[in-house]
């Protein structure tokens, strides 16, 4: 597998593969016979089969190469042009000046050997974008990237209290059975009428159920969260006396998505400044291939999260993948922790965390900077300390039922 899929891009135009074979004609015949593929002979050639996935219409390309050329071709088709053509520093005269030139001069049988020959640390396929990774590789300063196995819990998930498919117990026991230590439940807040958002009375009902389940399922823990709508003026849904009953709060925009960048950024900045905001959910609200993202000044948003110690989620739902991976590196530079959140509305949704890991890895995310790579006790301590530090202004002192 090469191309956009191997580099883990958020959208894929072509599923590209490289296959080693001494019988390209026979390979064409076999590919033409595969169920689920539609051949396009006019786009193909002796050493390249091209067609589409019949069900989706996504382009498929299979390059047919010799065994000796396999590694070189896999590498050439697993990196962005900027990665292949970026000048290699301190190369002696007459030596290859780029990775592409190196590949044209010498055959390799392992990708690691290519970087070694160039005097570089190995660059994982996700990071081969030509966005500064070669300078880090030259200095042997590339980070150890986050892995699926580093995640110890799942935050920002929904139950059938709002628009999820499963009960609290089902969401918790399924995750526990997968070996995780904790669940963050974040059903929709009361302003989200379209998603059966929770009234104050239903918040209390859910929290009582969580308390009972925590006694039963310990040491597994359910953290009391809410996905609080960021209202049009930047306020968080619910008065402070309700907000303070949660362990943590994910603040997200779901409505009025047509603001210009200045108004949209001001709105989100106000939410970040709210002392009850623990985490910023899917910052732009984008739906890939369906809806453009909310226009935001990403630097201003990330800087504010750094100032107010607000975590930013990488929403791992494959339609979102938001925070965009292109801003991960900047967030890490500012010291902002990121959380891989599936936004699961079904037990199957937990598996989407792998897509969030892909996006984090593209931006250089490490285990140390991933919030839900913390243990259950570390997360509990973090939430407790953050709540203890809140000094709500006078206008927040409403009665819980007032």
Which tokens is 90 given? 């301190």
- pLDDT confidence of residue 393: 53
Please count the other Cβ atoms lying within 10 Å of the Cβ belonging to residue 194: 10
- pLDDT confidence of residue 255: 86
Give CATH 3.20.20.140 domain extents, the chain.
148-396
Contact 98, 134 (CB under 8 A): no
CA separation for the pair 236, 299 (Å, rounded)? 22
pLDDT, one tens digit per residue, over 245-259 is 999 999 999 988 889
Strand order in the sheet with 37-39: 14-20, 59-65, 48-53, 37-39
CA separation for the pair 392, 390 (Å, rounded)? 6
- pLDDT confidence of residue 3: 97
DSSP string for residues in 108-123 = -SSHHHHHHHTT----
Residue labelled with tokens 């589409």: 52
- pLDDT confidence of residue 402: 38
User: Which CATH fold topology does 148-396 show?
Assistant: TIM Barrel (3.20.20)
How do beta strands 48-53 and 37-39 pair? antiparallel
pLDDT, one tens digit per residue, over 192-243 is 998 999 999 999 999 999 999 999 999 999 999 999 999 999 999 999 999 9
Question: What are the per-10-residue average pLDDT scores of the chain (402 residues)?
Answer: 98 97 97 96 97 96 98 98 92 83 96 97 98 96 98 98 97 98 97 94 98 98 98 95 97 90 96 97 96 94 98 98 98 98 98 98 98 98 95 48 36
What is the CA 154 to chain-centroid distance, rounded? 13
- pLDDT confidence of residue 362: 98
């Amino acid at each position: 597998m090469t191309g956009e899929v191997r580099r883990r891009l958020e959208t894929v135009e072509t599923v590209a593969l490289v296959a080693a074979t001494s019988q390209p004609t026979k390979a064409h015949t076999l590919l033409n016979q595969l169920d689920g593929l539609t051949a396009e002979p006019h786009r193909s050639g002796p050493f390249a089969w091209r067609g589409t996935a019949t069900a989706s219409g996504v382009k498929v390309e299979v390059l047919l190469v010799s065994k000796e050329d396999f590694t070189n071709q896999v590498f050439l088709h697993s990196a962005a042009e900027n990665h292949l053509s970026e000048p290699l520093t301190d190369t002696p005269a007459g030596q290859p000046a780029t990775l592409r030139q190196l590949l044209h001069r010498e055959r390799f049988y392992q990708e690691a050997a290519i970087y070694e020959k160039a005097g570089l640390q190995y660059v994982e396929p996700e990071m081969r974008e030509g966005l500064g990774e070669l300078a880090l590789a030259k200095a042997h300063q590339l980070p150890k990237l986050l892995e699926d196995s580093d995640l110890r819990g799942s935050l920002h998930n929904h139950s059938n209290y709002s628009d999820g498919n499963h009960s609290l117990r089902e969401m918790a026991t399924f995750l526990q059975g997968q070996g995780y230590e904790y669940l963050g439940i974040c059903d929709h807040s009361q302003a989200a009428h379209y998603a059966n958002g929770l009234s104050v009375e239903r918040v209390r009902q859910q929290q009582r159920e969580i308390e009972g389940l925590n006694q039963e399922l310990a040491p597994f823990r359910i953290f009391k969260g809410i996905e609080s709508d960021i209202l049009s003026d930047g306020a968080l849904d619910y008065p402070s006396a309700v907000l303070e009953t949660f362990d943590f709060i994910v603040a997200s925009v779901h409505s009025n998505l047509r603001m210009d960048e200045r108004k949209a950024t001001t709105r989100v900045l106000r939410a970040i400044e709210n002392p009850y905001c623990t985490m910023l959910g899917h910052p732009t609200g984008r739906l890939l291939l369906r809806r453009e993202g909310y226009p935001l000044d990403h630097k201003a948003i990330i800087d504010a999260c750094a100032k107010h110690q607000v975590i930013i989620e990488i929403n791992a739902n494959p339609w979102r993948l938001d925070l965009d991976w292109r801003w991960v590196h900047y967030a890490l530079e500012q010291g902002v922790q990121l959380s891989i959140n599936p936004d699961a509305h079904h037990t199957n949704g937990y598996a989407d965390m792998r897509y969030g890991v892909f996006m984090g890895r593209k931006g250089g995310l490490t285990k140390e900077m991933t919030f839900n790579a913390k243990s259950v006790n570390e997360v509990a301590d973090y939430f407790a300390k953050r709540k203890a530090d809140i000094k709500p202004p006078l206008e927040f002192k409403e009665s819980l039922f007032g």
